[in-house]
Amino acid sequence: MTDLPAVSLALDNQLCFKLYAASRAVTRAYKPMLDQLGLTYPQYLAMLVLWEWHDAPPAQPTVKALGERLMLDSGTLTPLLKRLEQLAWVRRRRSAQDEREVHLSLSDTGAQLRDRTLALKARLLCDSGVDLNQADALRDGLDQLLAQVTALSSSAPTGPAGR
């Protein structure tokens, strides 16, 4: 038996719920901007990474590397990237050395989409009334939380006893 009080199970006391609700609210706030760009939120996240890579390419700009950066599996990324390729914003090419490896790059129109996004994002931030210093501090705190939880989950035992 545990010594935790029952109030610790109240919904409003759950960090996981606050993170979930905040994530949904932010995604909803981004929706009008993303609709103007023709992107879903996951596609937007992929484009953010691809814009970073456009300026400073990694050694291996692959689907696998994108998945690691976004913490998404290839089953989620493949249809997303296929759609971005249909929109002529992204190019996918199989590696000549290893066919299992798919390299990614932005098309010229995909690179130009960043300029439209910057203008819309600036307006979104201005309209939101969010204090940018508070947002930066929150992001830094979430980076720490993510690192701690990721380290904890990667060291957790697996199998029936660890579930």
Over residues 67-104, the pLDDT tens digits come to 999 999 989 999 999 999 999 999 999 988 888 899 99
d(CA 159, CA 157): 7
Q: Which domains does the chain have, with CATH numbers?
A: 14-121 (1.10.10.10)
d(CA 9, CA 14): 7
121, 33 in Cβ contact below 8 A? yes
User: What backbone torsions phi and psi does residue 27 show, to the nearest 5 degrees?
Assistant: -60, -40
> pTM of the full predicted structure?
0.85
pLDDT value for 163: 42
Q: How many CA atoms lie within 13 A of 111 on its CB side?
A: 10
Alpha-helix residue ranges (DSSP H) falling in 38-131? 41-55, 63-70, 74-86, 108-128
